[in-house]
Structure 1
Amino acid sequence: MTGPAQGRPRIAAVTLVFVVGVALVVLLGAWDLTLGTSHVGLGDLLGLLTGGGDDETLAVLVASRAPRVLAGLLVGTALGVSGAVLQSVARNPLASPDTLAVNAGAYLSVVLAAVVGFSLPFAASGVLAFTGGLLAAGLVLLIARAGAAGPTRLVLAGSATMLALSSVTMLLMILFAQETQGMFAWGEGSIVQSGTTKVTQAAPVVVVAAVVCVLWARRLDVLALGDDTASVLGLDVRRTRVVGVLLAVLLAAVAVTVAGPVGFVGLSAPVIARLVAGRVRGLHQHRALLPLAALAGCAVVLAADVLLRLLVPGRTGAGIPTGVVTTLLGAVLMVWLARRLRDSGSAQVAAVGARPASRRRVAVVLAVLVVALVGALVAAVLLGDRLLLLGDVANWFAGTSGRQVSFVLDQRMPRVMAAVLAGAALGLAGTGVQGVARNPLAEPGLLGITGGAGVAAVLAIVVLPGASIWVVSAAACVGAVLTFGLVYGLSSRRGLSSDRLVLVGIGVSAAATSLITLIVVVTSPWNTTMALTWLSGSTYGRTAAQVWPVAVALVVLVPFLVRHRRDLDVLALDDDLPRVLGVRLERTRFLLLGVTALLTAVSVSAVGVVGFVGLVAPHLARSLVGSSHARVVPVAALLGAVLLSVADTVGRTLLAPVQIPAGLVTSVIGAPYFVYLLWRTRRSL
C-alpha cells in the first residue's frame, strides 16, 4: 500500500510541472503573437477569435507572427531535446550543440552552399547542415574522449573547433558578400519567418526524432550510471552514444536550417529542466526529462523573443536576431555552472611541451626569430595588392619616391607596424595569462578580455562618431580591464581555479560577441562590415595614430613583465610555493592579469579582435626555450609579432586585391594547432 500511496503524489507533482510548463509556453506564445512591427495588437487578434477581425489582421497573423511563434516552438523543442541528450551522452552539464560546435558546423555548411550558388531545397539543406554538425561534434567528442576528460576539456575542444569553423564562415562571408547577403544577422539565429513552409517541412522530422529520443530514454537512464555499470547491465554503451549523438545532431541541424544557430538554447533548456527535476521526484528519468527540456527550450526562445520586442520595439527590434538574447542568457547560465564546478587540477599541465634549453639554444632561437621578423617586415612592406621593390622603399624613406609609390607606402607602413606591434602585445598577453592561470590552453580571447575590449571599442565608435584613436584605445582599455575584473572576480570563488577561469572566460567571450552584434544591428543595421572587421581582426585603413597606443603600452608594460618574470615562474607551479617564498600571491596575480588586459586592449584598438596569437606564441616559446619566463617573454613577443605580420601579409596578398582579415588567417592556423594540443594531451589531461 505504501508504494502506490507514495507514487500518487509523485505523479501529481510531475503532472503539475508539465501543466505549468505548457501554460507558460502558451502564455509566452500568445504574448509573442501580439508583438510586431505592424499596428496589429491584442484587441485585433481577439477580434479574429470572435469573428470581428479584418483581412489585414489575418494576413499579419498568418504570414508573419504565427510562423515566428511556430518557429520558436520548433527550435526550442529541437534544441532542448538535443542539448539534454548530448549532456546525458557526455555526462557533462556543459555539453550542448554550441559547446560541441554542432551549430557552427551546420552553419558553415549552409553558408558554403550559398557561396557555391546552390539553391537547395529544404531537405537537402537539412542534410547538409546535419553532415557539417555531425563532423564537428564527432571531432570534439573524439578530442574530449566523449566528455570523460571533464567539462573544461570538452568546452575547450568545442570552443577551438567552433572558432575555427566560425573563422572559415566569416572568411566566406567577406569574400562572397553578395552571395551571403543577409546571413550575418541570420548567423546569430533568427526565428523570423515569411510563411510556414520551413516550419511545416521541419516539424515531422523534429517530432519523429524527439519521439525516438524518448523511446531511447531507458538506455540513457542506464548510461547515466557509468560505462562499467551500464555494460554489466547489458547495455551496448558505444551504440547508445552513437545513436544519441546522431539524434541530437539531427535535431540541432534542423533547428539551424529553420532559424540559424540560435545560441545556447541547447545548454540552458536542459539545465533548467534538470534544476526542476532536482526538486521534483520522478522527473530525473529521461522519459520525463526530455519532454521537460523541450518545454524549457520553447519557453527560453519565446521569452527571449518577447523580451527583445518589448525592449527594442518596431523595426529595429525585428532586425535583432533572437539568438543574441538567448546567447546572452546562456552565457550567464554557463558562468553560473562554471562557478559550481570543482577544479579538475589543470594546473598540472602548465609545463606541457616545455623542456630545459641551453643558453646556446636560446641565443640561436632569438637570432633566428629576429631574422624571421626582419624577413616578415620586408615581405610585408613589399607584398600586397601592388608589388614594390627595395629601391622603392629606400626612395620613400629618402622622400624621393613617386606619387604612386608614396600613396601605397603611406597606407601600407602603418598596417605593417600595427600587425607587428599588436602581435607582440598579444604574445606577451598570452604569456601572462597562461602563467597565472597555469594552463597552456588559456589565452586572452578565451578569457573574454579580447571580447570585452572589442565591445568597448565598437561602442566608442558608434556613440562618438569621428572619435580619435586615443579615445577608442582608452575605451578598449576600460572594456578590457572591466571584463578582466569580472572574469577574475567570478573565477575566484574559494580561490582562483584554473578551470573556472577558462570556463567563465568562454562564457563572457560569447556574451561579448553577441553584444558586438547587438550594437551594430541596433545602430548600423546595414553596416555589418564594421562588426565583421572587429570580430575578425583587420589592419585595413590603419593610420600611424592607431599604432602609437600599442607602442606606448609595450614600452611601459614590457619592463613590468620582465621585472616579474620570476614571479611568473613561481605562480605557474602552484599556490603554496609563492607564499612560502614571500610572494604576495593575490596582489601579484591581479597585477599581472591587469597588464595582460591592457596589452590585449591596445592590440584590439589597433587591429580588432585577433584570436589564437596569444595561445600559439607562448606555447611555441616554451617548447623552444623552456618554461623560464626570462626566456619565454622575449621569444613569445617575437613569435607573436612574426605570426601576426605573416598573417596580415598573407591576407593582403593571397587573393589581392581582395583582402582577408589577419585575424581570420590566425584563427584558421591557430585553431587547428589548438586542437592538436588537445589531441596530443588527451591522455594526460
Structure 2
Amino acid sequence: MAVFMTIQLHGNIAYILKHRGQILATMVLVAFASGIGTLLFQTVTQNRILTPSVMGLESLFVLLQTVLIFALDIGGLSMLGSVGRFLAEGALLVTFATLLYRWLLSGSGMDLHRVLLIGLVCGTLFRSASGLMQRLMSPGEFAVLQSRIFATFTRADGGVLMVCALIVALVSLVVWRMRHRLDVIALGANSATALGVPYRRNVTGILLLVALLVATSTALVGPMMFLGLLIVNLTYPLIGSWRHCYLLPGSVLIGMVTLVGGQLVLERLLDMAGTLSVVIEFTGGALFIYLLLKKAKK
C-alpha cells in the first residue's frame, strides 16, 4: 500500500494522493467483502469450489443496472446521486437474497443444495432478461450500461466509500465475534448440534451476512465472479489452519495483496496493458476449472 501511494509521486501531489487513496480504499473494501463473504459461504456449504456468485447476485446486479437505464434513462439516473444509487442497488440485492433464503430455509429441513440450484436458475433467468432489454436499448444507453456492468476500481466517490466502509466494518465486527462458532459450524450440522450450537439459526444469519457483503462489493465496483474463489483458495494453503481466527484476517490480507499488488504491476510494469478485473477473472476461472477437474478425479 505504501508503494502504491508513493511510487512516482510528482506533479499535483494533493490530487494524485486523493485519487490513489480512493482507489486504494476501494480495493481494501472489496478485499474485505469478497474474502470474508466467500470464506463464510464455503464454511456453511463445506465446499471449497462454491462461491456466493452462484446465487445469482451478480447477475441480478447486471439486470438491475439494465432496468434502471432502460426505465429511467441516463438523465433519471443522475437524479438519484451516487450514494442513493449505491444504497438502492445494495438494498435490492440484499432483499432478493433475504427473500430467497427465507423461502428456501423456512421448511423443516436445511437443504443448501436446493438453495444453490435455485440460485443458478435465477442467475440464468436474470442474464436472459438483461440480454433482452439490452437489445432494445439505444446505442448511447447501451454504452453507459457497459461502463457500469464491468468491474472497475476507479469510479467510486468519497460518499459511497464511506457508506461501504461502515457496512463492511459492522459486518466484520459481527463475524469476528462469532469466529469460534464458525469453527464448530464447519464440522457440519450433526456435529454442531451435538456441541450445542443452534445450527439452523446461525447458518441463516451467516448466509444473510454473506449476501450483504457480496451486495456491497458488487454495488461498489461491479460483478467479479471469481475474486472470492481466488482469495480463499490462496488463504487455505498459505494460512495452514482451519480456525477462523486465522482464516478471517488471512483472507483479508491476501485479498489486499492480490488487488493492490495486481494493480501496481499493471500500472508500473505493464503500462496498463490490461485491466485488473479481467486478469482476476481469467486467473480465477482457470483456478475454478482446475478445482473441478481435481475434484472429479477423486
Global fold match (TM > 0.5): yes
Q: 2:127 aligns with which of 166, 173, 188?
A: 166
TM alignment of 1:583-598, pairs within 5 A: none
Q: 1:84 aligns with which of 33, 39, 42?
A: 39
Q: Call closer, same or farther: CA 1:133–1:301 in 2, change over 3 Å.
A: farther
**Is the 8 Å Cα contact of residues 56 and 123 (structure 2) preserved in structure 1?**
yes
User: Corresponding residue for 2:144?
Assistant: 182
For structure 2, which runs of at least 5 residues remain unmatched after alignment?
Answer: none
**Is the 8 Å Cα contact of residues 79 and 251 (structure 1) preserved in structure 2?**
yes
TM alignment of 1:190-339, pairs within 5 A: 190-193=152-155, 195-278=157-240, 283-310=241-268, 313=271, 317=274, 320=275, 322-339=276-293
Q: Distance in 2 between matches of 1:224 and 1:272?
A: 18
Structure 2 counterpart SS, 1:93:
coil
Structure 2 counterpart SS, 1:98:
helix
Structure of higher RCO (CA pairs closer than 8 Å, 6+ residues apart): 2
Q: Call closer, same or farther: CA 1:194–1:311 in 2, change over 3 Å.
A: same
Q: Distance in 2 between matches of 1:241 and 1:111?
A: 32
State the structure with more CA Rg. Answer: 1
Deviation of the 1:309 alpha carbon: 3.2
TM alignment of 1:7-18, pairs within 5 A: none
Q: 1:60 aligns with which of 16, 33, 39?
A: 16
Q: Distance in 2 between matches of 1:79 and 1:66?
A: 20
User: Corresponding residue for 1:130?
Assistant: 94
Structure 1 residues 473-514: Cα deviation after superposition (integer angstroms, max 9, x where no partner): xxxxxxxxxxxxxxxxxxxx58xxxxxxxxxxxxxxxxxxxx
Structure 2 counterpart SS, 1:109:
helix
Residue 103 (1) aligns with residue 58 (2): yes
What is the letter of the counterpart of residue 239 of structure 1?
R
Deviation of the 1:272 alpha carbon: 1.4
CA RMSD after TM alignment: 3.0
Deviation of the 1:72 alpha carbon: 0.8
Q: 1:75 aligns with which of 26, 30, 35?
A: 30
Q: Distance in 2 between matches of 1:164 and 1:103?
A: 12
TM alignment of 1:158-557, pairs within 5 A: 158-177=119-138, 178-179=140-141, 181-193=143-155, 195-278=157-240, 283-310=241-268, 313=271, 317=274, 320=275, 322-341=276-295, 343=296
Q: Distance in 2 between matches of 1:309 and 1:137?
A: 41
For structure 1, which runs of at least 5 residues remain unmatched after alignment?
Answer: 1-25, 35-40, 45-53, 344-492, 495-685
**Is the 8 Å Cα contact of residues 133 and 253 (structure 1) preserved in structure 2?**
no
Q: Call closer, same or farther: CA 1:176–1:225 in 2, change over 3 Å.
A: same
**Is the 8 Å Cα contact of residues 65 and 149 (structure 2) preserved in structure 1?**
no
Q: Distance in 2 between matches of 1:139 and 1:336?
A: 34
Q: Distance in 1 between matches of 2:104 and 2:267?
A: 36
Q: Name the one with the larger helix percent.
A: 2
Q: Distance in 2 between matches of 1:226 and 1:261?
A: 30
User: Corresponding residue for 1:42?
Assistant: 8
User: Corresponding residue for 1:114?
Assistant: 69
**Is the 8 Å Cα contact of residues 268 and 333 (structure 1) preserved in structure 2?**
yes
**Is the 8 Å Cα contact of residues 185 and 192 (structure 2) preserved in structure 1?**
yes
**Is the 8 Å Cα contact of residues 97 and 267 (structure 1) preserved in structure 2?**
no
Q: 1:93 aligns with which of 41, 44, 48?
A: 48
What is the letter of the counterpart of residue 57 of structure 1?
I
**Is the 8 Å Cα contact of residues 219 and 235 (structure 1) preserved in structure 2?**
yes
Aligned residues: 285
Q: Call closer, same or farther: CA 1:268–1:115 in 2, change over 3 Å.
A: same
**Is the 8 Å Cα contact of residues 60 and 123 (structure 2) preserved in structure 1?**
yes
Q: Distance in 2 between matches of 1:68 and 1:273?
A: 23
Deviation of the 1:158 alpha carbon: 4.9
Deviation of the 1:188 alpha carbon: 2.9
What is the letter of the counterpart of residue 63 of structure 2?
L
Deviation of the 1:179 alpha carbon: 4.1
Q: Call closer, same or farther: CA 1:167–1:297 in 2, change over 3 Å.
A: farther
Q: Distance in 1 between matches of 2:178 and 2:150?
A: 31
**Is the 8 Å Cα contact of residues 24 and 260 (structure 2) preserved in structure 1?**
yes
Deviation of the 1:304 alpha carbon: 3.4
Deviation of the 1:75 alpha carbon: 0.8
**Is the 8 Å Cα contact of residues 227 and 284 (structure 2) preserved in structure 1?**
yes
Q: Call closer, same or farther: CA 1:135–1:327 in 2, change over 3 Å.
A: farther
What is the letter of the counterpart of residue 257 of structure 2?
A
Structure 2 counterpart SS, 1:95:
coil
Q: Distance in 1 between matches of 2:105 and 2:259?
A: 27
Structure 2 counterpart SS, 1:340:
helix
**In percent, how many aligned pairs have the same letter?**
24
What is the letter of the counterpart of residue 15 of structure 2?
A
Q: Distance in 2 between matches of 1:80 and 1:89?
A: 14
**Is the 8 Å Cα contact of residues 102 and 137 (structure 1) preserved in structure 2?**
no
Q: Distance in 2 between matches of 1:328 and 1:246?
A: 28
Q: Call closer, same or farther: CA 1:134–1:179 in 2, change over 3 Å.
A: farther
Structure 1 residues 36-65: Cα deviation after superposition (integer angstroms, max 9, x where no partner): xxxxx6142xxxxxxxxx5x2321331x32
**Is the 8 Å Cα contact of residues 156 and 220 (structure 2) preserved in structure 1?**
no
